[in-house]
Amino acid sequence: MRGEGPTDDSTHVLVTGADATAADAGVPPSSNVLGVTYETAAEAWLGEFQTGPERAAVVSVGEHSRAAAATTPDTGASAATDIAAAAMGAVETVSEVEDVAGVGVLVNDYVSTWDGETTVYVDDFSVLLGETSTETAFRFAHALTSCAAANDAHVVAGLDTADQPAHVAATFSELFDDVCEA
C-alpha cells in the first residue's frame, strides 16, 4: 500500500516531501514512544506526548542536544539498566550527528527493554543526510528498522526531500512498509 499513507498493519512509515517530519504521518502514539530528534528540541518533542503513552523518551542528536545535555543528565552506558523503570521524559544526548552507532545503541537499549508496543519517531533523516554520506544514512535507517522489527516496534520517520535528489527518497522508501507524502 505504498503511497496511500499508513494503515493499521504498517510497521514502518516514511513521510516524504518538503518540510516533512514524522509528525505528519498522523500515527497515534503507542504505549511507549521514543523520539530520535535531529532538529526538534527534546523538551518540545516530549511536550507533544504529555498524555497517552506510558513511557516517553528522546534521543537528542546534534547541535541542539547540547542544550538538552545542560538541563538533563546524560546517563550514557548505565541507561540500559534504568530504561525499564523510566516513565516519562528521559532525554539521552548524542552530540555529533555523525555518531550513528551511538544513536543506534540507545535506540536498541530502549526498544529491547521496554514492554508493550513501542513506536520510534525520527523527526527528519535529511539532517543526517546533510552531515553523513547517503550510504551511512541509509545503513543507519536500515539498522533502525531492523532493530525495531526484531523487537516488535514500529518506526515512523520523516524525510524532507526539498534539498534531496529524487533517488534518495526512493532508496529510503525501500525500508518502509508505507510511504506517504506530506
Is 76 within a domain? yes
pLDDT of residue 24: 87
Is 5 within a domain? no
From the first residue on, what is the mean pLDDT of each consecutive set of 10 residues in the chain (182 residues)?
48 93 84 93 86 88 62 45 60 95 96 92 94 96 96 95 92 95 88
Is 21 within a domain? yes
Is 7 within a domain? no
pLDDT of residue 49: 79
Determine the structural domain holding residue 101 and report its residue range: 12-181
Question: Which residues are CB-contacts of 81 (< 8 A; sequence separation ≥ 6)?
Answer: none
Is 3 within a domain? no
pLDDT of residue 4: 44
pLDDT of residue 101: 97
Is 1 within a domain? no
Identify whether the C-beta of residue 68 lies closer than 8 Å to the C-beta of residue 91: yes
Domain count, the chain: 1
DSSP H or E run through 44: helix 42-47
Helices (H), 78-173: 79-83, 100-113, 125-131, 134-150, 166-173
Cα–Cα distance for residue pair 19/21, rounded to 1 Å: 7
pTM value > 0.75? yes
